[in-house]
Amino acid sequence: MNNRQVVLAQRPVGMVDASTTSIVEGPVPICGANEALIKVGLVSIDPTIRTWMNDAPGYLPAIELGDVIRAGGSGVVVESNTDRYKVGDIVYGMTNWQEWAVATEQNRFTVVPTGLGLDLATVMNVLGTTGLTAYFGLLDIGQFKEGDVVVVSGAAGATGSVVGQIAKARGASKVVGIAGGPEKCAEVVENYGFDECLDYREDHLNKRIRAACPKGVDLYFDNVGGEILDAVLSNIAMHARIVLCGAISQYNSMERPKGIANTSMMIMRRGRMQGFIVFDFAPRYAEAQVELATMVLDGRIAHREHLVQGLEEAPNALNLLFTGGNHGKTLVVVDESVTLG
């Protein structure tokens, strides 16, 4: 038995291509004292992985050349030298893009609760960092209040779709999505229950935001950055909160981004803009997961997973996030025999 890994072969310029990563095979890692060996089932495909491939300062160190690609994932414990995990537990954490992972004191995993009636992909989506990002970004960073007019970019995406649904469930007066193309916009309204969705590929986004939110935007959850952020900024209401979650429009950019020109609106409207990383909320994950699980089970959160088969497809799956070719939370199936329940 070997451990196949996707490693960083060359730092990408723009989109990831065939030269960016390579597959290497090595021995299955040894499970040391206080450690557990995990057979990986699913790995997560997230925009932030693209930022870790750059040799640039970030919230985590850049991935070194030759190192396995850092990523979340889930799997089953097959050997355990710690009381933390039993053989057979389904766990998730930082598996990275590989077939076998080791849980250590430094790299801890969470045991997935069984008996919820949710499949593993759903858990990875809504109860994983994707849904947790939506939850803490909207409620803690955004200080969502009942009656808020909420705008969400990347609204058809895994995080954005959950943001809008939590906002609706908690009494937003209006939830407006921004997404790319008519198909995604329809999905945002029909599947995720947003009141409206604006296609950023069409002209005059600024004016269409104004028409959708004539009294201004109270809370903007930004997954995209750049021109869309600027267009929303010009339409903020008094005391608006802008949650900076991601800037997917810039992760592959080879030019200096165009920049945000409407910062003076932040002064006029006393706006607050705040960036965050979900890892900061780790001590409170359980609190959010209970609520998110309940909302999935009672149907208040609709969700969609985009499964790609085969570890070797992970780099191509990452590109889907930037071309808009994915639908919902993108996961790569490394071993389909790893399932919940």
Contact between 254 and a copy of itself per CB under 8 A: no
Min dist CB 262 to a copy of itself, Å, is: 9
Q: Residues 59-78 vs a copy of itself: string with x where CB under 8 A?
A: x-------------------
With contacts defined by CB under 8 A, how many residues of the chain interact with a copy of itself? 33
Q: Does 323 bind a copy of itself (CB under 8 A)?
A: no
Stretches 3-11, 62-70, 125-133, 224-232: which one binds a copy of itself (CB under 8 A)? 224-232
Give every CB contact of residue 255 below 8 A, 6+ residues apart in sequence: none
Give the Cα separation of 157 and 294 in Å (integer).
21
CB of 129 to a copy of itself, least distance (A): 14
* Rounded distance between C-alpha atoms, residue 341 and residue 339, angstroms: 7
Q: Is 206 in the site for a copy of itself (CB under 8 A)?
A: no
Rounded-to-integer distance, Cα 198 and Cα 184, Å: 10
Q: For residue 54, state whether it binds a copy of itself (rule: CB under 8 A).
A: no
First to last CA, the chain: 26
Q: How many Å apart are CA 119 and CA 228, to the nearest integer?
A: 34
CA atoms of 341 and 335, how far apart (whole Å): 16
Question: At its nearest, how many Å lie between a copy of itself and the CB of residue 300?
Answer: 28
Q: Does 267 bind a copy of itself (CB under 8 A)?
A: yes
Q: Is 131 in the site for a copy of itself (CB under 8 A)?
A: no
Q: Output 103 or 132, the one with its CB closest to a copy of itself.
A: 132
Is 280 a binder of a copy of itself (CB under 8 A)?
yes
Q: 13, 26, 43, 20: which is closest to 124 by C-alpha?
A: 43
Least Å distance, CB 78 to a copy of itself, is 36
Q: Does 268 bind a copy of itself (CB under 8 A)?
A: yes
- For a copy of itself, which is the closer residue by CB, 52 or 85? 52
What letter would DSSP give residue 66?
A: T
Q: Should residue 327 be labelled a site residue for a copy of itself when binding is judged by CB under 8 A? A: no
Interatomic CA distance for residues 246 and 225, integer angstroms: 7
Two structure tokens written together for 9 = 């072969």
Q: Does 272 bind a copy of itself (CB under 8 A)?
A: yes
Per-residue CA distances from 155 to 64, 162, 191, 204, 335 (Å): 32, 8, 11, 18, 30
CA distances from 300 to 184, 200, 341 (A): 19, 26, 23
250 binds a copy of itself (CB under 8 A): yes
> Is residue 187 a contact point for a copy of itself (CB under 8 A)?
no
Q: Give whichever of 276 and 322 is closer to a copy of itself, judged by the CB atom.
A: 276
**260 lies in the site for a copy of itself, by CB under 8 A:** yes
Nearer to a copy of itself, 97 or 136 (CB): 136
Q: ∠ at Cα 232 (227, 235), nearest 5°?
A: 135
User: Which spans of this chain sit near a copy of itself (rule: CB under 8 A)?
Assistant: 57-59, 225, 229-230, 244-247, 250, 256-261, 263-277, 280
